Structure 1
């Protein structure tokens, strides 16, 4: 019937090299021949996350300032104060998100290095 794969001299003998070869074929199929294809989408996702974190904090801070100014009749002072607080919170969120993204990238690189060895 068909030839047995174990008799094929082109196939690696040990499990680790077969596993590496299978991972390379999977990566090639998944990312179109480049293991860095997923990096682009990860970068876009990170950029979108950072933009949303910053914009949301500024919008929420500004909204709170507007509402409090109308309620207390202190326009525009609370708007200015809460805009600044929202901006500071947004930058803090961006910093935390960037730290998280960096940590995940380092873990991924370490895992790739371990898989290649």
Structure 2
């Protein structure tokens, strides 16, 4: 199976799960999906499959699609991620990471981008 097809299937399943959580959250008034680190891991895997740059604003393209916070189609997401990849400057990100580590003492979330 092609990597993009795997990513699409994963995204569709995550959208479905998060949609169900939101329905239950609205009834209970409690965010029950918050405590499922496995879902966070799958969401991280999805961004890695799509090779999304590590900037949070770029990862939000995928997150907003999964959480249904945008009207983007799957094709829109792929186009936006591709544009983000084209604009990504590894030197700027490395500089950011160095400053972040100097200030916070650790590497920023999102990992390294190779």
Q: TM-score, normalised by structure 2?
A: 0.30
Q: TM-score, normalised by structure 1?
A: 0.29
Which structure features the higher share of helix residues?
1
**Greater relative contact order (Cα 8 A, min sep 6): structure 1 or 2?**
2
